[in-house]
Amino acid sequence: MEAKPWRDRVREEDELVRQLQLLVSESATRRAQALREGVAELGTIADVARDLGKSWNAIDKALKKQHAKTSTTE
């Protein structure tokens, strides 16, 4: 059995990367929505961060990044 030509393998991997990037983007959107709900429930980003065992900065960055992404696409 012959291996697929390298060009075909590169095309397949490019398509897989595209699909994975789309999944990551969709996941980040859902995660940011959940974080916003957490802030609404607990009151502050710091409270959400403490509850999740993450840094305040990590939560804040995730929310800001998603907000900037949705602001430019609307």
| 3 vs 34, more confident | 34
Q: Spell out the domain ranges in the chain.
A: 6-73
pTM: 0.80
Residues 26-57, buried b or exposed e (16+ Cβ, 10 A)? eeeeeebeebeebbeeeeebeebbeeeeeeee
Query: 4: which DSSP letter?
Result: P
What is the band of 67 on the pLDDT scale with cuts at 50, 70, 90? Answer: confident
Residue in the structure block whose two tokens are 């075909």: 8
pLDDT at residue number 74: 58
Render pLDDT for 7-47 as a digit per residue (tens, 0 to 9). Answer: 999 999 999 999 999 999 999 999 999 999 999 999 999 99
Q: How confident is the model at residue 70 (pLDDT cuts 50, 70, 90)?
A: confident
